[in-house]
Amino acid sequence: MKTFEQQLAQYAAYHRDPRNIASHFLGVPMIMFAVVILLSRPQLFAAGGLPVTPALLVAAVTGLYYLRLHAGTGVLMATVLAAMLWVAHGIAALDTAAWLGWGGGLFVVGWIIQAIGHVFEGRKPAFVDDLMGLIIGPLFVLCEALFALGLLKQARAAVEAQAGAVRRNRRDQAKLAA
């Protein structure tokens, strides 16, 4: 299994343009929440009064994976997943049109935002080459926010050593293209 820094660096290599990273701050949470919403409606069974849905199972497995990669960010991601599950449960209880509208709408708009970001990047999304990018994307967004706050300095240094620094201006972009 790849380390926390290796997973982030592989994903970051596809995301060095600040406009693309900014698009991910909107698009990735929208897509993630959409998937949670859409998977929250089918109830597989109930355990102790708790409806067990595909969303709960996927969130549990994904949360455990995040925890295994890095305990601190794993706790944060598990908290985000729990909050999404809680809100999605209410949305899933709405009529079918509202449930599909929220889930489908967020999913489509999120991917449009992602596509625009990758136009700026000039590179395809990471998941095209490695499906793990779909799981690492939300963690990347969280880590980019933590990096911006001056946290996880060692992880940031390791990611930038492997993927390169975020391009800050057009001159930097021109140097990389040459």
pLDDT score of 21 more than 60: yes
pTM for the structure as a whole:
0.89
Q: What is the mean pLDDT of residues 113-125?
A: 90
Q: What is the pLDDT of residues 132-162, one digit of tens each?
A: 889 999 999 999 999 999 999 999 999 999 9
How confident is the model at residue 23, as a pLDDT? 95
pLDDT score of 176 more than 70: no
Query: Nearest Cα to 9, choosing from 135, 151, 164?
Result: 164
Q: What is the pLDDT of residues 33-71, one digit of tens each?
A: 999 999 999 999 999 888 999 999 999 999 999 999 999
How confident is the model at residue 175, as a pLDDT? 56
Across all residues in the chain, what is the average pLDDT? Answer: 92
Domain boundaries, the chain: 4-177
Listed in sequence order, the DSSP H helices in the chain are 4-12, 18-40, 54-69, 71-92, 96-121, 133-148, 153-163, 170-177
Residue 173 to residue 121: CA distance in whole angstroms: 10
Query: Nearest Cα to 18, choosing from 153, 166, 143?
Result: 166
Residue 23 to residue 21: CA distance in whole angstroms: 5
Instruction: Return the SS3 of 45.
Output: strand
